[in-house]
Amino acid sequence: MLQAAAEHESSSGSMTEYIVHHLHHLRWPHEDGFWTLNIDTLFFTFVLSALFCLLFIGTARRAKVENPGKLQSFIEMVVVFVDGLVKETFHGTSKLIAPLAITIFGLVFLFNFLDMLPVDMLPAAGHAAGLKYLRIVPTADLSTTLGMALCVFLLIQYFGLKHKGPKVFFGEMVSAPFHAHGLGAKIALAPANLLLRLIEEAVRPVSLSLRLFGNMYAGELIFILIAVMTLDATLSHFSTYLLGFGQFIAGFLWTAFHILVITLQAFIFMMLSVVYLSMAAERH
């Protein structure tokens, strides 16, 4: 009985170590702190960003009017779809919005898609190369999603200033949502309007980043939990085959569902960005 308890404790410990290990970033320097860099996140972000640019630029340069290839047809379909959504959502005039929307959707989708790779494939390759830790999904790192959301936040302010001018842009901060007609009433309501405007502006990057991060972190964690079902299992036990079958079914179902999740999250991040930019360009 003591031996069984010891085996159970050992198994629980190895599972905890496995989960913690897979949720730990390759960092520099190794101590936690504000200036600590997640090297694995930066590496995969750079690689996938370069892949996105090469894919779209290469397809654009090789584009043919007659007999386009499958890749060109697919990219054209995505471009037309996103362009249509932008025209319906953004009511101003800007040459930046459509390319920005396509870039956001493409990058976020590629970042998310790394979660579809087997849990131990790239980390095992990294371990063989001498890397102690390796997390491969950039959007499962809050630094990535918050950085992208802050870029959108800065663009929102830029669009507001560009389309409204400084007078209207800063005037709206103290005159809405509580409107007044007299000068005294406007001055009295200005602090409340400014406070609500600051809260509204701060909520946008926070909600954008946490929504994407939370969904991708949860998806990554579920894949890890599915993987530990057969951790330290041996072929001599009949339970291993039952757990293996359950692991296969759970992995298949979650993978099929997660394909929808990663696409939907990329679409939501793109659409909210376009909506926020459209709201910033409109006069209230």
Among residues 23, 157, 163, 198, the alpha carbon closest in space to that of 90 is found at: 163
User: Which one, of 108, 112, 141, 120, lies nearest residue 40 by Cα?
Assistant: 141
The residues with which 28 forms a beta bridge, in sequence order, are 37
CA distance 170 to 228: 54
Cα 141 to Cα 153: distance, rounded to the nearest angstrom: 19
CA distance 273 to 100: 9
Tell me the two tokens of residue 81: 């779809």
Spatial separation of the C-alpha atoms in residues 8 and 103, rounded to whole Å: 49
Backbone φ/ψ region at 130: left (φ over 0), alpha (ψ -120 to 50), beta:
left
Residues with a catalytic annotation lie at 207, 211, 215
